[in-house]
Amino acid sequence: MNEPDFIAALRALPLHPGARGLMDDCAVLSLGSETLVITHDMMVEGTHFRAQADMADVAWKLVATNLSDLAAKGAEPVGVLLGHMLGQEDARFLRGLREALEAFGAPLLGGDTVAGDGPRSFGLTAIGRATHTPVPSRSGAVPGDAVFLTGPVGRAMLGFEGAAEHRAAFDRPVPRLAEGQALAPLVSAMMDVSDGLLLDAWRLAGASRVTLRLDPTAIPVADRERADEAIRWGDDYELLFTAPASAQLPVAAHRIGSVIPLTEAPLILGSEALSDPASLGYRHG
């Protein structure tokens, strides 16, 4: 079964109301006066990291990518649960794990340690506390809103290719936790850019049933010559959000477009209508 079919089948299972129809990055669980935000991501050798990767970077990234989902909800970390498959360089893994937990204030809550053969996989469940309710979703963008991005895309791409100044962007991404918390009260929709700006913008447009019109010259990119690739590459973990055009933003952000009523294509880049998601970026498992 391919991923879209599997996820469609999951949506037909008994879902918790807080699952948001499995259309969002996180589950949102209301408990009395508290609202928890919960996410779980896996990383698999060969799919999400190379066998020769520094396991300290792998552990860091496992934490950071999950916390990036919390950032998009304006949540502050409470703690994480780790699913760890034992193997080579576990001491390096623990070192990167410690560095990430300390950097982001996310203590360990629990988890599981297993043995296994073959390519390794790791899972992390991150639990956060909403700092603002209603918790931002992907689905609240309305025509008239402006579209914003907190920082440039393409740095992780250049780092992956070996550019020294961008290595950290790929190896040690930093979730935009403070920015997400500051923005949560005034965004109409928000998500983190994990799979490429165009693909994620397409998803936000779809969830909100609107069209996003992006100005390619306004999108901040790490290398202007390679803008077309940069807006299709993932792993930068900037926040993409929509807000009233008149909003006074509490954090620096680039205005990269506007929300208009749904057209035939959910995404317009300059004068080009984009309706085939296959052209928008990469999808890995």
Which residues contact a second copy (rule: CB under 8 A)? 1-3, 6-7, 9-10, 13-16, 18-19, 22, 26-27, 29, 31-34, 36, 38-48, 78-79, 81-86, 90-91, 94, 97-98, 101-102, 107-119, 121, 123, 125, 127, 284-285
Determine the residue type at 9: A
Give 133 or 263: the residue with its C-beta nearer to a second copy: 133
Cα–Cα distances (Å) from 43 to 51, 113, 166, in that order, read 12, 15, 22
Give 99 or 223: the residue with its C-beta nearer to a second copy: 99
- Shortest separation between residue 1's beta carbon and a second copy, angstroms: 4
Give 4 or 261: the residue with its C-beta nearer to a second copy: 4
Give 82 or 153: the residue with its C-beta nearer to a second copy: 82
Give 34 or 165: the residue with its C-beta nearer to a second copy: 34
Asked if 253 and 242 count as a contact pair (C-beta separation under 8 A), the reply is no
Which residues, including other chains, have CB under 8 Å from residue 111's CB and lie 6 or more apart? 80, 81, 82, 83, 84, 125
- Shortest separation between residue 107's beta carbon and a second copy, angstroms: 4
Asked if 149 and 192 count as a contact pair (C-beta separation under 8 A), the reply is no
* Cis peptide upstream of residue 277 (ω within 30 degrees of 0): no
Give 94 or 168: the residue with its C-beta nearer to a second copy: 94
- Shortest separation between residue 17's beta carbon and a second copy, angstroms: 8
Asked if 246 and 179 count as a contact pair (C-beta separation under 8 A), the reply is no
DSSP 20: G
- Shortest separation between residue 232's beta carbon and a second copy, angstroms: 19
- Shortest separation between residue 124's beta carbon and a second copy, angstroms: 9
Return the C-alpha torsion angle 273, 276, 279, 284, nearest 10. Answer: 140
- Shortest separation between residue 144's beta carbon and a second copy, angstroms: 31
Give 114 or 164: the residue with its C-beta nearer to a second copy: 114
Neighbour-count burial for 267-277, b at 16+ CB within 10 Å, e otherwise: bbbeeeebeeb
- Shortest separation between residue 195's beta carbon and a second copy, angstroms: 13
Residue 129 has phi, psi (to 5 degrees) of -115, 125
C-alpha–C-alpha distance, residues 190 and 71, integer Å: 9
